[in-house]
Structure 1
Amino acid sequence: MSPYTFEFADDSVREWTLTETGAEPTLVEEYAPSVFVSGPDDALADLRSRLESDPKVDDLSVERWARDLHEVHVGERSRLLRVDLERVSDVRQLAREIRGVHERETHAPGTFRLYDVDLEPGFRYCLDRGIDPTPSRDLRVLRIEIDDAALADGDVTAIRLEGESVLEDERRPDRDRDADDVQAVGRGSDGARTVGNVPDDARATLENLQWRLERDDPDVLVVSHAELVPLLSRRAAEVGLESFALGRLPGWTRLAGSNTYESYGRVGHSPARYRVPGRAIVDTSNSFLWQQSGLAGLEYMVERTGRPLQEAAWGSIGTLLTSRQIRLARREWDVLAPQNKWEPERFSDVRTLHAADRGGFTFAPDVGFHERVHEIDFASLYPRIICEYGISPETVGCAHESDDTAADTRRVPDLGYELCSGGPAETPFLPSVLEPLLADRADRKRRLADDPPEATASRLRAESGAIKWVLVSCFGYQGYRNAKYGRIECHEAINAYARDVALTAKRRLEDGGWRIVHGIVDSLWVTPREGVDPEPLESVIADVSAAVGIPLERDGSYEWVCFVPLRESVRSREAATDRGGTTGDAETSRSSGTAGALTRYFGKRESGSYKFRGIEVRQRSTPTFVAESQRAFVEALDRERDPVAVCDVLSRRLGMLRRGDVDPGDLEITTRVSKPRSAYRQRTRTVGALERYERHGIERHPGQSVRYVVVDDEARTVDRVRIPVESIDEYDLEFYEGKLVEACESVLSPLGWDRTRIRRHVSGVTVTRLSSFLE
């Protein structure tokens, strides 16, 4: 069995291999990580002589590797200098010295190109030694949680295991303190029991936690905050529990500090990362994949990427895709992972640039209420385009000019880029990365259709979801500036084929008597054309699938669908002013952009369930009460098909607010912080929330979220909001009335009712229907 988690010391690696009863360590003392350098022969010879005296270097040699996918495509290999190092921790330092010292002193910038530099230690180790870190048995998991306020206070008594208080766990057999402990117990100033200067409840909590760790012997610790690792160790030392350890051996290590980053214009925050011996740590606040797919999705990605579980847990979707590419490139293509993306965008004339910079095809929504609507979409459109047409960095505009491949060259629609399918590899690189994932997802969906037992179905859904996110990212990642094997021409070619596919589908659907009421990227909403007896939709779908080589599938049928119009920015600014805001307040003046309008719709499936996209009920920031109200508005519209009935429900919900019948906790707003508090120029609600978090000693960094209830939107001070750790017994009635009206407008705007008309109706004297109470 292969090891599943690893620890790196200065001169050794400890591998942990799962057994039937736990896990066993093996110490590996002979491991030398490698960095590869390419450049002119004389420059490499000079660099080799310089590195021979470097104490970090264990060995130097020259090997032949492909520097990129093009070299494999044309059957070439380059001579590279291989530098073996004493320790994993020396890799990045050596890379900085090569570029910043050795190259700068004697050669022109860019003389050396480095490979296999920025690989995570566990992934590098598995890659170098051919280890598959996929767990060999079911993993035992222990969830450890603490809320933000308790974490800031260092209050370990608030810790919960699997949702239950650790302090109140009475199952530990040896509940009695030894004699020395009993004598040390006293009372603090607040009446709490203490041991020395530390509350005795903290000691009892840690003892219970230690007992659970010993009894359950978990393989994975799922923590709500990674900072629990140093906190628990520090508190154990304070209460004199020298034997306390979260790992299977004593000690812990900080792997990386916290940092804030920006990706695709969105600010994110990565908390510090820690390691304990013999157990993998999953920090739920820093694991997108855990939130989406849980342990089953993580285990699947460990198998497909070769990243150990802990590294897979904190890796982004793009990181997981890159890991899969790196492993495939190394194992099957003899291509190393470049430290930097060197290949620039090729020269194109203005006409080609104009055609290439268009993105995916979109059919503007027919705003309004539509009946008998069918949603159809192309299964994994972009990944299948890549595989169907062989789009890959080495095939787009390929320079391989042998007679065998010239006849097999195709041209990308609109762009004229040549696509060569020749070369030594039977399958181009990107398709070889994606085809197994597509096959696995199709297999999971097929097995789910057979209605398996719930335990099996849950795992299949998790694995399918994990695959979906990687497939979603594969297209955009080709245009990402730091993608190891990305190339902008691939991104443009995929879009060009997607537009061609959408237009082919449009023509065949319209010829078959169907009208497209909306279409975006890979999904189309169609309804029968008036006065036409359309062809069976299944027949049209089959024809389109055969024509483009990508399955077009029916995703659902609807009794009705409403496409929501774009909100006018002027109206949003006016509403902001009405609520006491200013046109400079980003929280109140922001209006939906075009892309948002294209994904704003709701409808009722023939199965009776509702589907929502883009409107408030699907937005993370929307308070629970507002989201529940909007769902009630939709249900009223479904029952009555009358805007007046929806306004009746709004009136009743406004009455609940005015009477104080709404729990303030159901009015919490969640907002992502985009910059440090000091960088905000205006007194927004977010600033008020950040200041209140600071008062309670709770850190909030750009990229993290804040939660608050608006209590006085006119205040423009820290008193404008309250946060969850505080006692909240009031709320700003006018502000939340506005939120309800906005939610109602999203439901009624497809029928021509704007917020002015809605307000006029609910403020007048009207007779409330009994049907408005049927929620």
Structure 2
Amino acid sequence: MPLKSLGFSKGYLFDVYHTEDKIYLWIKTDSGDSLLFFDSYRPVIYAKGAVPILRKLVRRLHELDALGDDPKFEKRKLFYENKFTDVLKLTISKPSVLSKITKKLYALYGRFDIYHSDIDVPTSYMFQKGLFPLCELKLAYTPTEEGRKIRKIKCLSAVSDLEYKIPSFRQLYMRLEKSHRIGFQSNPLILETDQNSYRLKTDKPKDLLLEIDSILQKEDPDIIFSMYGDHTIFPKLFYYSEKVGFLPSFDRDKTAPIRRHITTKGTSYFTYGNIVFRAPSYPLFGRWHIDSANSFVYKEAYLPGIVELARLSRLPIQRMARASTGKALTYIETDVALRRGYLVPWQKSAVEAPKTALQLLEADKGGLVFQPNISLGTTAENVAQLDFAQMYPRIMVNHNISPECVNCPCCESDPDAPVVPGIGYKICTKRFGIVSEALEDVLYRRAYYKRKVVEESDPEVRNVLDSKQSSLKWMLVTSFGYLGYRNAKFGRLESHESVNAFAREKLLAAKEVTEEKDYVFLHAITDSIFIRKEDSSPFSSGELEELCEEITKRTGIKIEADGIYTWLAFPPSSQDPLMPVANRYMGRFLSGNLKFRGIGARRKDLPVFIREAQMEMLEWMRNKISISDLKSTENEILSIYDKYDLLLRKGRVDWKVLLLKKSTTKELDEYEVDGATSLSMHKLRDMGIEVQAGEKIRYLVVNQSSKTKGLRYIPEEELQLSDKKTFYDRNFYRKLLASAFREVWSEFASFDNFDSLTDDQGMLPF
């Protein structure tokens, strides 16, 4: 090829997606331009099974014209068995058939194993080319009638880089003025940039689309951040576009054959004891669309956190924004497996080994918890909290806990193989686990970012670093659960049980060390312990450092002092006033900072007004150094309570801060009791609004004791559309306020009867 026919470009990999065997790449140049290129790519999968079954599979792929090359047998290494086997290599020219193969795996073909078939095509392409989202790259291309055809591509940065540049992006924010459930009827659409704000009427679809297009042409955003964009805004806008025959410039790509299936119905699924709702997905092509209401990572770590996880997992940015941190970890583990030459199964293939009842009793245990010792009191002074640093993922790294390494065939009869305490599982000594290697890098990166946050003086840079470490924290939090998750690709219950066994042993070892050194052991939960001296005197300089060094030496996992509380309280259970709750406490550090867990101020289901009231009480408590300081100035916190109580009694509280938020646990027709949630859902249905299981609703308590069900609660949407004077149940909210006050003050109060703080004075209008 003559050199003059080639073009060259350099920049950052902004977006990557595919239509069958064609991959599209958007490059963001240093000058801010966005350029589109395309490449050809045919993913490779492998199949293992009886020859007649494999022949049926090949025949079907030929019928679908989905084979890009002749099938051939190769020797590849199995993940769990760690040995080579013969598998059939299949080059797929129509990646859309991959989902059909896995969905109908047994029904159509009979029993066989398939590998690499469920790796996302853009991610598979990036694996093969050594690329990742926002990597720096340079490429050579040929201009064609279809566009810029990539001839050569080279990555100029590495996934392992800790210091990397995130290009600057033009951003636009999109939301509806009122609740997203009201839809577009009398609900203006708000578009905002750093410089401009637009309020668009939504009653005339074509005019609305033309206005949006004009704004997009003018602002040309790289990223559109929305609130409920996936759930409501984009489905409606794309529906309008089909109806009137005009599509605004949401996508920069005008060449790829992009098709969208418009749906407003999300999915509801059960996980960890909860029903979770996931909205449909509406990514854009050549721009990013990130729905802040449909992205866990964005809520916790913002854009830098999404970028960090996307780089490590090689999931495109918009895919990562909508994915869980567990999915990101699975792709990081997949990367490790591919680099080692393993066959990656399309689903979890290691089932739990049979156990006797006694073995099940010994192995099937969770983390260790010591209830707060109420014989020593529910309040204490000069209490130290010691925390293990990322205990569970660190156990998985230190002890090589990975699904292929627990009770592996190669070490089953090895008498020198390490044994899991209490349950007797053996751990492989011949290879380092996939999960262990993946987590080792994540732990290192998070420790680096946390250290840099402390050292950094620029607040903007510090916020970016903090977002990165926060995203990695949540990945580490989910890493343990994924070991036992039934659908985890790299999961196995025995490895999950092994981590718990080691964790229990290490917490017990920490308890033993503290008691050997004559400290009073107050409480422990999973990876934290609370101790004080016998006489509750302050800790001297170096005492805790020496204790932490001994525990670290004994357990092999670093433990550090989270802080020393000048006072610490364990609020009682609402069911039993004499029984504290293990994960509920609050206290003031020597630094003056307050730490609290499990109380109302951290609950998102409580009204903003109640949380703000409790936060003001906590802020007042933060300034009191000792328990005697708290008790001697009780009149001050009572005056804070009285201030908020008076606002409720006088009806001076805006209904917007009195809304309670609840998650729906089932479809409306499945509710058997007429509680606040079901009655609010009934009202929404009467308004033409359907709520799926797992969605969150907000409502105002109007008259909880009314005999007429329809007068007890009003959903937020009805309030937004009503111009009538609104009432709230004063008694209900005053009791809620008293309960929040009791939660933080009952351990210090000079009185027992918090119910006397409220009385019945009827309802007041706004």
CA deviations on 1:306-356 (whole Å, 9 max, x unpaired) are 1110111100121111111112211x2222332232222123344332221
Q: Does 1:138 align with 2:145?
A: no
Partner in structure 2 of residue 231 of structure 1 = 236
Partner in structure 2 of residue 710 of structure 1 = 701
Partner in structure 2 of residue 17 of structure 1 = 27
- Pairwise CA distance, 1:626: 1.2
1:156–1:232 Cα contact (<8 Å) kept? no
Q: Distance in 1 between matches of 2:325 and 2:384?
A: 31
Q: Does 1:248 align with 2:252?
A: yes
1:413–1:496 Cα contact (<8 Å) kept? yes
Q: Does 1:694 align with 2:691?
A: no
Q: Residue 606 of structure 1: which of 581, 590, 604 is its match?
A: 590
CA deviations on 1:580-599 (whole Å, 9 max, x unpaired) are xxxxxxxxxxxx9x9x9211
Partner in structure 2 of residue 672 of structure 1 = 663
Provide the aligned length of Structure 1 versus Structure 2.
Answer: 694
Q: Does 1:115 align with 2:115?
A: yes
Q: Does 1:486 align with 2:491?
A: yes
Give the letter aligned to residue 120 of structure 1.
D
CA deviations on 1:511-549 (whole Å, 9 max, x unpaired) are 223222221111112211228897811111111112222
Partner in structure 2 of residue 375 of structure 1 = 385
Distance 1:532 1:466, change over 3 A: closer
Q: Which moved more, 1:123-132 or 1:548-557?
A: 123-132
Partner in structure 2 of residue 337 of structure 1 = 344
Q: Does 1:269 align with 2:277?
A: yes
2:482–2:491 Cα contact (<8 Å) kept? yes
Distance 1:401 1:7, change over 3 A: closer
Partner in structure 2 of residue 94 of structure 1 = 101
Q: Does 1:462 align with 2:467?
A: yes
Q: Distance in 2 between matches of 1:165 and 1:71?
A: 60
Give the letter aligned to residue 754 of structure 2.
I
Q: Distance in 2 between matches of 1:523 and 1:233?
A: 50
- Pairwise CA distance, 1:714: 2.0
Q: Distance in 1 between matches of 2:536 and 2:45?
A: 69
Q: Distance in 2 between matches of 1:312 and 1:708?
A: 32
Distance 1:519 1:655, change over 3 A: same
CA deviations on 1:648-691 (whole Å, 9 max, x unpaired) are 54344333211112222221111111111111111111122223
Give the letter aligned to residue 533 of structure 2.
P
Partner in structure 2 of residue 409 of structure 1 = 417
1:159–1:165 Cα contact (<8 Å) kept? no
2:174–2:189 Cα contact (<8 Å) kept? no
Q: Residue 518 of structure 2: which of 493, 496, 513 is its match?
A: 513
Distance 1:11 1:122, change over 3 A: closer
Q: Distance in 2 between matches of 1:337 and 1:677?
A: 41
Partner in structure 1 of residue 531 of structure 2 = 526
Q: Which moved more, 1:457-466 or 1:260-269?
A: 260-269
Distance 1:697 1:253, change over 3 A: farther
> TM-score with structure 1 length normalisation?
0.83
Q: Residue 759 of structure 1: which of 725, 747, 755 is its match?
A: 755
Partner in structure 2 of residue 576 of structure 1 = none
Q: Distance in 1 between matches of 2:77 and 2:222?
A: 39
- Pairwise CA distance, 1:254: 3.0
Q: Residue 189 of structure 2: which of 118, 133, 158 is its match?
A: 158
Q: Does 1:217 align with 2:246?
A: no
1:4–1:134 Cα contact (<8 Å) kept? yes
Partner in structure 1 of residue 449 of structure 2 = 444
Distance 1:229 1:547, change over 3 A: same
Q: Distance in 2 between matches of 1:399 and 1:683?
A: 55
Give the letter aligned to residue 26 of structure 1.
F
2:69–2:91 Cα contact (<8 Å) kept? yes
Partner in structure 1 of residue 160 of structure 2 = none
SS at match of 1:218: coil
SS at match of 1:277: coil
Q: Distance in 2 between matches of 1:675 and 1:164?
A: 43
1:673–1:702 Cα contact (<8 Å) kept? yes
1:412–1:418 Cα contact (<8 Å) kept? yes
Higher helix share: 1
Q: Does 1:85 align with 2:92?
A: yes
Partner in structure 2 of residue 503 of structure 1 = 508
Q: Residue 745 of structure 2: which of 720, 744, 748 is its match?
A: 748
2:77–2:342 Cα contact (<8 Å) kept? yes
Q: Residue 302 of structure 1: which of 299, 303, 310 is its match?
A: 310
Give the letter aligned to residue 648 of structure 2.
L
CA deviations on 1:179-228 (whole Å, 9 max, x unpaired) are xxxxxxxxxxxxx9xxxxx967x766655543443344322222222242
SS at match of 1:254: coil
Partner in structure 2 of residue 288 of structure 1 = 296
Distance 1:525 1:219, change over 3 A: same
2:186–2:203 Cα contact (<8 Å) kept? no
Q: Residue 640 of structure 1: which of 626, 630, 654 is its match?
A: 630
CA deviations on 1:402-426 (whole Å, 9 max, x unpaired) are 99xx475111111121122214xxx
Partner in structure 2 of residue 172 of structure 1 = none
Distance 1:131 1:63, change over 3 A: farther
Distance 1:752 1:455, change over 3 A: closer
Matches within 5 A, 1:311-350: 311-330=319-338, 332-350=339-357
Matches within 5 A, 1:393-408: 393-401=403-411, 406=414
1:326–1:336 Cα contact (<8 Å) kept? no
- Pairwise CA distance, 1:477: 0.9
CA deviations on 1:223-274 (whole Å, 9 max, x unpaired) are 222242343345467778x472111135964368521111122111111112
Q: Distance in 2 between matches of 1:381 and 1:124?
A: 32
SS at match of 2:108: helix
CA deviations on 1:606-650 (whole Å, 9 max, x unpaired) are 222322211111111111121122234445654532595355543
Give the letter aligned to residue 70 of structure 1.
Y
Distance 1:360 1:199, change over 3 A: closer
Partner in structure 2 of residue 588 of structure 1 = none
Distance 1:230 1:519, change over 3 A: same
Q: Residue 650 of structure 1: which of 641, 648, 670 is its match?
A: 641
Q: Distance in 1 between matches of 2:195 and 2:586?
A: 38
1:36–1:82 Cα contact (<8 Å) kept? yes
1:505–1:544 Cα contact (<8 Å) kept? yes
Q: Distance in 1 between matches of 2:556 and 2:650?
A: 60
Partner in structure 2 of residue 724 of structure 1 = 716
Q: Which moved more, 1:379-388 or 1:128-137?
A: 128-137
> TM-score with structure 2 length normalisation?
0.83
Q: Distance in 2 between matches of 1:731 and 1:485?
A: 51
Q: Which moved more, 1:656-665 or 1:42-51?
A: 42-51
SS at match of 1:518: strand
SS at match of 1:101: helix
Distance 1:393 1:407, change over 3 A: same
Distance 1:507 1:55, change over 3 A: same
Q: Distance in 1 between matches of 2:193 and 2:682?
A: 32
Distance 1:564 1:277, change over 3 A: same
CA deviations on 1:56-84 (whole Å, 9 max, x unpaired) are 33334234465643333xxx112222333
1:233–1:245 Cα contact (<8 Å) kept? no
- Runs (5+) with no aligned partner, structure 2: 1-10, 137-165, 761-766
